[in-house]
Structure 1
Amino acid sequence: MSPQSKSRKKKQGAVGRRPEKQSPYGALLESAAALRSESWLLADAWASELYATLWLAGSGHSPMIDALGSMNDPAALTALRALSGVGSAESRAASAAAAETVAARGVAEPSWYVAGAALEFREAFLVTNLLGDVEVIAITQERASARETVLFMRQPVLGATAIELFATPDEGTVALLEDMIASTPDAFRDLITPLSAFEAFDRVWPDIEQFWEDGPDEEAEEGLIGSEEVRHPIQLIALADARVSALVSNDHEIPVISPERTDEVVEAFLASPHGIADAEAARAFAQIVASAAVEQNRDPIVYGPASLTAVLILNVAARVHVSDADLALLPEIVRAWAYFTVDARDLPRDEARAAWDEELPTVLAEFSEAYADPELADERDGQFR
């Protein structure tokens, strides 16, 4: 047996060497180190996903920030600079303060960091599909001479469905949206509407608040740890929180649609050539869908298939009993309401009605399925009329 293969006895009284205790932040620091020579945009995206991972796990971020703030490590400083750009104002401030503590000890900053640089609003635009049920809000801001665009894909009632982050092309935000429209034929109208910073905030901020309020779900978890093909707002929601909150001052209040708008739209619908013999059934339906929109701070005439389906399920199937006679009338009433919204919004009439005709069978089928659900039946405590 060679000397190398012989077992070695420990000398009596000798103390064995203890294995080094690995830091629980080792993987995080290794990942952050790779960002040091990248871009601020990539660092923010990285920090947003980290923030979401902690939120999804139900753990706070304060222990991590405190731990990073105690390290004399350029990777720790990189992580803190990135984290200071995402999430709530409180978490950003805590990360920034910890970063300053680390930097004051002489730790080298990441190459992309510019002290004092702040986001400045440059422009925002809105793109929708024909019936307005899918919206894309593009918000471009500048920081340290670099322009970045956040795209919010959302649906009225349902909220944010995806968030994307881009380095704004040299041609500008409009060019980015034109490419998006061209790459998805028939998905969007060829109409790009400018928005002010306030208008962009008013559309997007309620979705962000609702996202945090609803809490994590299975789709959120899949969006973080599942297939890379699965995209979910959770990946950039912390970044969105910071970017959108920077659009307005803290005292800004989102305008609220007056409850009187419900009655205005109901009367306008009844005065339109809807062709429904039972005017009271038409009134009952219009009252439900118009008031639901106002409660969601949406104009009642802005309905598309997805939003109408959601309201039919949430505000009719889950809330009110509908007689068999009125259920038989609903397809006619729903079609009349859909056509009314086309005229009220001055959409291309033939094209928009054709789009509704294509979608209405699915809308009605999903409502019928929901109305037949015994669990929803148990929740109903009102009457259609």
Structure 2
Amino acid sequence: MSPQSKSRKKKQGKAPGRRREQQSPYGALLESAAAVRSESWLLADAWASELYATLWLAGSGSAPLVEALKEMDDPAALTALRALSGVGSADDRAAAFAAAETVAARGVAEPSWYVPGAALEFRDAYLVTNLLGDVEVVAITQDRADSAETVLFMRQPVLGATAIELFSTPDEGTVALLQDMIASTPEAFRDEITPLSATDVYDRLWPDVEQFWEDGPDEEAEEGLIGSEDVRHPVQLIALADARVSSLVPAEYEIPAIGPERTDEAVEAFLASDHGIADVEAARAFARIVASAAVEQNRDPVVYGPASLTAVLILHIAAKLHVSDEDLALLPDIVRAWAYFTADARDLPHDEARAAWDAELPTVLAEFSEAYADPELAQEREGQFR
């Protein structure tokens, strides 16, 4: 400390210390935003999505931050607002955009990547699955400001989103990106890439986005933000996915619903198949449970794989229904018959699909048995299997 900055002594009492400059509570955030000013719109959106998730986990939402940033004549604040205007719900994006326009009108410098009026335009989308269709990757590519960006949305029926990744689309296109993914994970996916329309993507993914927000934060979500790099959680990019998926269809668009009659069709088709179950009424009861569970989620009843079947067995039988010892003894054969039926109904390679189910069914049945033996779940059961 220089002699000029030292406090002079008073005759009585202690000399007052230097008054500290009041630091902004948004200092760290502004410093972080400044770092993406000269990056890309893609990275700015990813940064904003993680910020959005952090605010969501904290329970504060983005509104207070947006209001605070709107009052700042700071290029970093404008960068943060431009980035936030690309993620989250339509209302949140609109609020961030309006605030950004207010700051920009005061002459604050825009980030280098921002292009006024640029909007996301759907280019193409594709679906890749594993053999039994229980693991899906949906790739959505959209153009914006002469750049192409791809979101890979990894999901499982019933369970929803498991991971989301964002890429700058290679010059070779989306298919090349998926081909590299398939080649890098041998035996994880079928070597089939199915084109999807914008509405196909929305129908598949929007329920997962809604489910994610409705379920609320959990410990895994928090670890996905602050844990090790090995932990990947969709919370990091779910706000970005919200914006990208919702932009695929007009605001008035509604997802077509699978009618309850599809349950009856699936049950009758199963009973008419070569299921090999002597107790037809037990087979009927099981088929109605799993088919109804799928239709309730707006899924076709025959789209089942090991993970989705395990989830339904636990959530709709172990947690809800009393099953007699006689029917518990029948369940392994009934479950196997249903699994084979769903593979045949989707025209999957017969021997390969059955071999895949045979490899997975012991685990499926073991997890169900463990859940059914859980005393806490036993207390929740109110219905009867049949």
Name the residue aligned to 1:295.
296
Name the residue aligned to 1:27.
28
1:106 matches 2:98: no
Structure 2 residue identity aligned to 1:382: G
Cα deviations by residue, 1:71-129 (Å, 9 ceiling, x for unpaired): 11111111110011001111111111111111111111110000000000000000000
CA distance in 1, matches of 2:288, 2:102: 58
Matches within 5 A, 1:157-172: 157-172=158-173
Secondary structure in structure 2 of the residue aligned to 1:291: helix
Range that drifts further, 7-16 or 195-204: 7-16
Structure 1 residue identity aligned to 2:246: S
Shift of 1:60: 2.4
CA distance in 1, matches of 2:286, 2:98: 55
Paired residues, what number? 381
Cα deviations by residue, 1:121-156 (Å, 9 ceiling, x for unpaired): 000000000000000000000000100000100000
CA distance in 2, matches of 1:12, 1:283: 96
Whether the 8 Å CA contact 2:141–2:148 is kept in 1: the answer is yes
CA distance in 1, matches of 2:90, 2:262: 35
Secondary structure in structure 2 of the residue aligned to 1:121: strand
Whether the 8 Å CA contact 2:163–2:234 is kept in 1: the answer is yes
Secondary structure in structure 1 of the residue aligned to 2:180: helix
Matches within 5 A, 1:284-323: 284-323=285-324
Name the residue aligned to 1:67.
68
CA distance in 1, matches of 2:278, 2:95: 63
Whether the 8 Å CA contact 2:142–2:149 is kept in 1: the answer is yes
Structure 2 residue identity aligned to 1:247: L
Identity of aligned residues (%): 83
Shift of 1:300: 0.5
Name the residue aligned to 1:154.
155
Structure 1 residue identity aligned to 2:216: G
1:191 matches 2:186: no
CA distance in 1, matches of 2:157, 2:317: 17
Matches within 5 A, 1:1-385: 9-11=8-10, 17-385=18-386
Cα deviations by residue, 1:24-71 (Å, 9 ceiling, x for unpaired): 000001011111110000000000000000000111221211111111
Q: TM-score, normalised by structure 1?
A: 0.97
**What root-mean-square deviation, in Å, do the aligned CA atoms of Structure 1 and Structure 2 show?**
1.4
Range that drifts further, 345-354 or 15-24: 15-24
Q: TM-score, normalised by structure 2?
A: 0.97
Cα distance change, pair 108–8 in 1 and its aligned pair in 2 (3 A): closer
Shift of 1:352: 0.4
Structure 2 residue identity aligned to 1:255: P
Shift of 1:12: 6.1
CA distance in 2, matches of 1:78, 1:341: 50
CA distance in 1, matches of 2:222, 2:189: 29
Shift of 1:305: 0.3
Shift of 1:228: 1.3
CA distance in 2, matches of 1:208, 1:215: 11
Shift of 1:17: 4.0
Cα deviations by residue, 1:157-208 (Å, 9 ceiling, x for unpaired): 0000000000000000000000000000000000000000000000000000
Cα deviations by residue, 1:283-333 (Å, 9 ceiling, x for unpaired): 111111111111111000110000000000001101111110110011111
CA distance in 2, matches of 1:188, 1:99: 43
CA distance in 2, matches of 1:8, 1:180: 66
**Runs (5+) with no aligned partner, structure 1:** none
Secondary structure in structure 2 of the residue aligned to 1:299: coil
Secondary structure in structure 2 of the residue aligned to 1:139: strand
Shift of 1:8: 5.8
